[in-house]
């Protein structure tokens, strides 16, 4: 069997197919309502795939552009309780698809940063062919969630079946953790 580290494996239960593409290294794979995939890596808060590699592989004479696109700037500033910092440990992102928050949150990206003790929110919009993510105007100098608890280390954000966001908190890293429900 071939190694699958560093790639995304997609299973289509209707077509009974398996395909591989560029993808996340650890966590944070999420989908929007149109089936576009988004994920993050520590220094890349929000990446998306512009096309599937299998399409570029059809024509070996075509110099394919980069498959992955930074929807959010790798130089993303965050506002933790202790002051301003850079989002350098992005992980466990989710595109909000629930119904518990106001309508303006639908389709927004939520990215955890355990080092800054924050959940950062990004508003997605189309800009030509690629999506662009930016800080919401009402959070110009703040974060969606910033904790004073030094042991709060969010590592994953998920959409819950009740329309809320769920946050997995690794806590102090010593094998303990918590799950928060945000409504």
CA distances to 32, 38, 74, 119 from 155, rounded to whole Å, are 20, 16, 18, 9
From the centroid of its chain, how far is CA 128?
21
Q: Is the model's pLDDT at 101 over the cut of 70?
A: yes
More confident residue, 25 or 19: 19
Q: What is the DSSP-derived secondary structure letter of residue 18?
A: E
- Is 113 in contact with 88 (CB distance < 8 Å)? yes
For residue range 131-169, list pLDDT tens digits in order. Answer: 999 999 999 999 999 999 988 999 999 999 999 999 999
Q: Which two tokens stand for residue 56?
A: 């570029």
User: For 37-65, what is the mean pLDDT?
Assistant: 87
* Calpha distance 96→76 (Å, rounded): 20
The SS3 call for residue 74 is coil
pLDDT of residue 23: 56
User: For 18-37, what is the mean pLDDT?
Assistant: 74
pLDDT of residue 1: 45
Tokens 């910033």 identify what position? 146
User: For 97-102, what is the mean pLDDT?
Assistant: 95
For residue range 87-96, list pLDDT tens digits in order. Answer: 999 999 999 9
């Amino acid at each position: 069997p071939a190694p699958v580290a560093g790639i995304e494996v997609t299973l289509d239960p209707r077509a009974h197919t398996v395909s591989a593409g560029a993808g996340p290294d650890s966590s944070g794979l999420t989908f929007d309502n149109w089936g576009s995939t988004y994920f993050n890596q520590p220094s890349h808060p929000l990446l998306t795939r512009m096309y599937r590699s299998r399409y570029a592989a059809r024509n070996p004479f075509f110099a394919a552009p980069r498959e992955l696109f930074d929807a959010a700037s790798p130089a993303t500033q965050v506002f933790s309780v202790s002051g301003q910092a850079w989002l350098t440990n992005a992980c466990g992102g989710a595109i909000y698809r629930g119904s518990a928050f106001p309508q303006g949150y639908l389709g927004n990206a939520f990215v955890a940063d355990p080092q800054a003790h924050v959940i950062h929110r990004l508003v997605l919009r189309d800009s030509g062919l690629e999506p662009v993510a930016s800080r919401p105007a009402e959070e110009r100098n703040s974060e969606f969630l910033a904790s004073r608890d030094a042991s709060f280390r969010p590592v994953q954000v998920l959409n819950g079946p009740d329309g809320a966001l769920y946050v997995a908190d690794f806590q102090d890293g010593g094998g303990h953790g918590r799950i928060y429900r945000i409504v």
